[in-house]
Amino acid sequence: MSINKIDFEKEKKYNKWIVVLSIVIPVAVAALFGINLRELGFDVEPLTFLPPIYATINGLTAVLLIIAFIAIKNKNLVLHENLMTTAIWCSVAFLVMYVAYHMTSDSTKFGGEGFIRYIYFFVLISHILLSIVVIPFVLITYVRAITNNIERHKKIAKITFPLWLYVAVTGVIVYIMISPYYS
């Protein structure tokens, strides 16, 4: 059996998890986004302090992705691996805080008018759609790295990196644009 075949076989065992997580994460976020614990009678404090924290985590994720890109271009594999793992954990932390905020707080409506409103909704909608699309890309890219399928990892990373970076940066932009309307 060739090295590539061995790497592919190691990678294959993760495919079920990639599919499951790529479906479960967006469905769970969408479902939980629509649940407000206070409206259901739970005595919870609104977690209104979370948006600037999770926006900062999005910004940190973007910075980590850029530094990881530079690290791998400079052939610093250990730094690249550590930064990418940290970026994944930042994305998980963002997701947990984002859901917690929306489960305890009323949604904030964007109050801008005119052309800025169209820009906001373009950025928001593209951010949301690509945040769903990027999930399997991140998972596949990560699995190809940890299974040492480096050539295939490099190929998909060329797609994953700009998608993930766009999602991280637009998350910050959405926060900045809507933050004046938080009550």
The CA–CA distances, whole Å, from 162 to 54, 138, 139, 142, 167 equal 20, 11, 15, 15, 9
Question: What DSSP line would sit under 102-142, residue for residue?
Answer: HHHSPPPPP---THHHHHHHHHHHHHHHHHHHHHHHHHHHH
- pLDDT the model gives residue 135: 97
CATH class held by domain 3-181: mainly alpha
Tokens 């985590």, located at residue: 57
| Cα atoms in the 13 Å half-sphere on the side-chain side of 77 | 5
CA distance 16 to 24: 12
Element (H, E) at 18: helix 15-33
- pLDDT the model gives residue 4: 59
The CA–CA distances, whole Å, from 36 to 1, 44, 98, 99, 132 equal 54, 10, 13, 10, 22
CA distance 150 to 155: 9
- pLDDT the model gives residue 139: 97
- pLDDT the model gives residue 7: 62
- pLDDT the model gives residue 154: 96
Tens of pLDDT along the chain (183 residues) come to: 445 566 667 778 899 999 999 999 999 999 888 898 988 899 999 999 999 999 999 999 999 999 999 999 999 999 999 999 999 999 999 999 999 999 999 888 999 999 999 999 999 999 999 999 999 999 999 999 999 999 999 999 999 999 999 999 999 999 999 999 987
**Whether 172 contacts 146, CB under 8 Å:** no
In three-state secondary structure terms, 49 is coil
- pLDDT the model gives residue 1: 42
140-167 confidence digits (pLDDT tens): 999 999 999 999 999 999 999 999 999 9
- pLDDT the model gives residue 5: 63
Query: Domain locations in the chain?
Result: 3-181
